[in-house]
Structure 1
């Protein structure tokens, strides 16, 4: 039986780059080698596998079907190897970084203002943030952890509750005059909400004792909670948002509570990370810190931790 050798890193790197660009020239430029070196590595790889990975069409190279399937597998393997290497290096040296996916408004209004305390405690670790608004597969992304709002539905991951939230109604004082006493009076104004919480106004009116169809009410949806708050600041209507997302600057610039009723949010904020990542030093430091911050915040604001 013909023996197939495990390809070298040089061959796999050349193939992954060439497959991604579908160009030996661009792959060579990315890897800082010659085009002939890329071509030779891929020829050796094809010879070892006894499979054509590319077909040459005029001046272009195009992946074959086996080549396309193999390129996806190689890309995942190289990404996993890079991630694991960084994790081990960070653990061994007490240094490193954490790739964190955050909800944008949570990151802006809650997490970033508190990060100086994290860096004061762990000056050698850096938190790199990217935005994700819905669950994703850690196996397909470069993130080490995520902040999620909702049910802990992530596969092959651990979710730890941070805290719940209180939903309040806010509007510009010069739009509504003063705080409205009757819940029905809110229906005279456009109702602003986050499209990630489409049932929030229905739940608020039910809690206020005003059940019924809100289909006739004027409304405007925004994906991000920060957009909802900004819309209320701009006088576009009455917003229903988590109270801690309303910055102090908004209160100072004329935003008021539109009605005294507040309701607890249905879901909570979660720290989510792959179950096999607990050995990561940056993640363990961040986990301990954010859970402590979350407990303190929940206690101060009478939230359910």
Structure 2
């Protein structure tokens, strides 16, 4: 174990079935989405973002949200997360009876919030708080993500003070955590360190979750910086798939298997089985009919297992 001041473990959230697939132009069969969720569970994932309850005309890939939920394995040890943008989506998610946790989203800038949700940034915060309250009324939990925390595709730089203030307001609603998301992959480790530390102080004792995209090849460095700064929960998408339909230029999430390799090799437990993740990444590449961005699944096994 490293003697450096890093945590002994983090919690890993697999977001591939939702964020990994949502921007894909070719519709993925419901059966393949359920198989992906099954692979994630087999590899150790115990929190999985399984789908989103959004307008199917705007995000056609998620049009089968109810069908995915109907096919989810019955597992008491797995938390199934459904992303929702508004109360209508939250009600749809709750009506399935299979979503354990609502994933609410607000956005740090007005222009992106309008593109993403048809509301201002402040309105998106209030909407997220209302979703948290609704989840509690129905005996469920909720998480909240602040999109475009590190930069906006429309407005450019985003004030750290703005993100911290939003996190503090969201914490008042009592989500299980507050996530800061680098939706378009413009973050760098120095920025990540500052913002994670500030948000952690603002929402303590709630955990900070982080969600990074690898658009400019800084995703893994940002994960490491975030964990070192106190982030307790890390998102990843198997194979490094992903993107946002409403954020021009947003590319893939940090690959789950690459994140797990880096953290485990650094002495930080994730609860994930890397060998099974690599197998799942190879399977997913076959489903997508192309090579995926994740690097660990393309590299030789290390350390090599003795014959």
Which TM-score applies when normalising by structure 2?
Answer: 0.21
Larger radius of gyration: 1
Q: How high is the TM-score relative to the length of structure 1?
A: 0.22
**Which structure dedicates a bigger proportion of its chain to strand?**
1
